[in-house]
Amino acid sequence: MGTTMDAVKNLDAETVFATLSPAEAVAALRTALATDFDPADDIPRTITDVTAGNMIFMPAEIGRWVGVKLAGVSVGNPDRGLPRIMAQYLMYDSATLELTTVIDGAALTTLRTPAVSVAAVEPALSRFTEPVKVLVFGAGPQGTGHVDTIAEVLDVDLADVTFVVRSPNQVSEDVRERGRVLEAQTAEVDAAVRAADIIVTATSASEPLFSADLVKQGAVVMACGSHDPNSRELPAALFTSAMVVVEDLSTVLREAGDVILAIADGALDADSLVTMKQFTTGAVAPNDDQTVIFKGSGMSWEDLAVAAELVEKKSRS
């Protein structure tokens, strides 16, 4: 007999964050990549334009679970005081396809996106033996989420955290509690880029946020702001001598403007791209003084890997 809606568990945002820590989300992704699962086999997501923005359908299957994220991205929501992303995540038993759990999809996305970035670059983080300076472009949930995840996973302390935004007067107190806030496109920002050990870009920008010559050699850069092939947050020149880590080759060449445009500009060779699975399992490693860039645009398997750990941990509690 099929599962009734009364038997379906609902995990709200508060439960998501209370149950699974950022470090546990990173570990769940790393565990998935260490198995026979290959992100290249992930089910492609579907993105459909609607009046308010777009709707995203993201199905995935790993082991005993099938999951689907249904997300709406409304570009006008921030002006309404609402989250830009509205989403639900549905978990099914992979054998019976019975619906077992509905998860707050926005909370799951907020947890998994920085976890993906950190899991992707984690082998490079061991190069830092002194407290690090972190620079974040953007101060939304993904910006703060990256700071929290980096802080949990790093073996060293955060010496300094800086957020760069277009409108500092609109930044909330919880952002200011994590670090200082600078207005974009100022000399102070240029100085912060020069000093940064880790740079995160989590914005809606379509053009580069800073100049490549400001980034010091050996920095770790995580770009997660878009899945638009015509938009970029990073300058092409930054890719010239860096190791570039991506979630999956076909996905990045279809969706990730930072990579697509750098290739088109002649600053990056597609054959040099390193997949997240190759990097996290140690198949490929950079020199400690080589800049490492991770460009993520989001894949369906990532939500499921984190959701599965969330559901299984909740069932044990």
* Distance in angstroms (rounded) separating the CA atoms of residues 97 and 89: 14
pLDDT tens, position by position, 135-188:
999 999 999 999 999 999 999 999 999 999 999 999 999 999 999 999 999 999
Model confidence band, residue 228 (pLDDT cutoffs 50, 70, 90): confident
pLDDT tens, position by position, 12-61:
999 999 999 999 999 999 999 999 999 999 998 898 999 999 999 999 99
* Distance in angstroms (rounded) separating the CA atoms of residues 202 and 114: 10
Model confidence band, residue 85 (pLDDT cutoffs 50, 70, 90): confident
Contacts of 174 (CB under 8 A, 6+ apart): 144
Contacts of 287 (CB under 8 A, 6+ apart): none
* Distance in angstroms (rounded) separating the CA atoms of residues 227 and 209: 16
Cα separations (Å) of 188 from 17, 170, 184, 192? 34, 19, 9, 6
Q: Average the pLDDT over 259-279 and give the result.
A: 97
Average pLDDT of the chain, as a whole number: 94
Q: In what helix (H) or strand (E) does residue 61 lie, and over which residues does it extend?
A: strand 53-62
Q: Where are the domains of the chain?
A: 5-109+301-316, 114-298
The pLDDT of residue 68: 98
User: Contact 253/260 with Cβ under 8 angstroms?
Assistant: yes
Model confidence band, residue 78 (pLDDT cutoffs 50, 70, 90): confident
Q: Average the pLDDT over 264-276 and give the result.
A: 97
Q: Average the pLDDT over 69-94 and give the result.
A: 92
Tell me which residue of 237, 203, 197, 204 sits closest to 221, measured CA to CA. 197
User: Contact 69/302 with Cβ under 8 angstroms?
Assistant: no
Cα pseudo-dihedral 15, 18, 23, 25, rounded to 10: -10
Return the percentage of the chain with pLDDT > 90, whole number: 88
pTM attached to this predicted model: 0.93
What b/e sequence results for 55-69 when a residue is b if at least 16 CB atoms lie within 10 Å of its CB, and e otherwise?
bbebbbbbeebbbbb
Cα separations (Å) of 183 from 37, 41, 180, 233? 42, 42, 10, 16
User: Contact 70/57 with Cβ under 8 angstroms?
Assistant: yes
The pLDDT of residue 212: 98
The pLDDT of residue 1: 42
Residue 270 has pLDDT above 90, yes or no: yes
Return the percentage of the chain with pLDDT > 70, whole number: 98
Strands 46-50, 198-201: pairing kind? unpaired
Tokens 């996905």, residue located = 251
* Residue 125 identity (one-letter amino acid): L
Statement: 5-109+301-316 belongs to CATH 3.30.70.20: no
Model confidence band, residue 3 (pLDDT cutoffs 50, 70, 90): low
Count CA atoms within 13 Å of residue 273 on its CB side: 25
User: Contact 145/179 with Cβ under 8 angstroms?
Assistant: no
Residue 2 has pLDDT above 70, yes or no: no
For 114-298, CATH gives 3.40.50.720
Residues recorded for the chain: 317
Q: Average the pLDDT over 116-127 and give the result.
A: 96
Report the Cα 33 to chain-centroid distance in Å. 16
Residue 288 has pLDDT above 90, yes or no: no
Tell me, what DSSP letter sits at residue 272? Answer: G
CA dihedral sign of residues 209, 241, 243, 192: negative
Lowest mean pLDDT, pick from 6-10, 268-272, 309-313: 6-10
The pLDDT of residue 6: 63
User: Contact 107/119 with Cβ under 8 angstroms?
Assistant: no
